[in-house]
Amino acid sequence: MIESQFILVQQILALVTLILGGALIIFIYDAYRLVKQPTLLYFTIGLFILVIGIVLPDFVQMTGPDISIVYWGEVASRILEIIGIGVMNFSVLRG
């Protein structure tokens, strides 16, 4: 019972993360369309990858798989987060 409440809280927080991250991505992309600076486009792509990486473990856990799939979901999440942050760093250093 308590475990299901924790899972529900994680799902709600993952949804909020997706909504806020999506809104930020849209705002940055709109800024890119105005100024046409490639740095903003790279930053948007990096942020998208980062947000997906952040919520990936929550969505993997929602499917109720065995422990090995949850583990690899966590590993894939960290890899996506590293890639997203790397792309964002690239965009800032390039700009």
Are 53 and 86 within 8 A, CB to CB?
no
pLDDT at 1: 65
Alpha-carbon distance 74 to 68, whole Å?
10
What global pTM score does this model have?
0.86
Query: Rounded to whole angstroms, how far apart are CA atoms 53 and 66?
Result: 20
Place of tokens 């792309």: 87
Give the range of the structural domain holding residue 7, as residue numbers without chain letter.
2-94
First-residue to last-residue Cα distance in the chain: 50
Q: Which two tokens stand for residue 64?
A: 């109720």
Q: What pLDDT does residue 5 have?
A: 81
**Which pLDDT band holds residue 88 (cuts at 50, 70, 90)?**
very high
Among 39, 17, 18, smallest CA distance to 28 is for 39
Helical segments of 36-95, H only: 38-62, 67-94
Report the domain count for the chain: 1
Amino acid 85 reads I
pLDDT per position as a tens digit, 49-84: 999 999 999 888 888 778 888 899 999 999 999 999
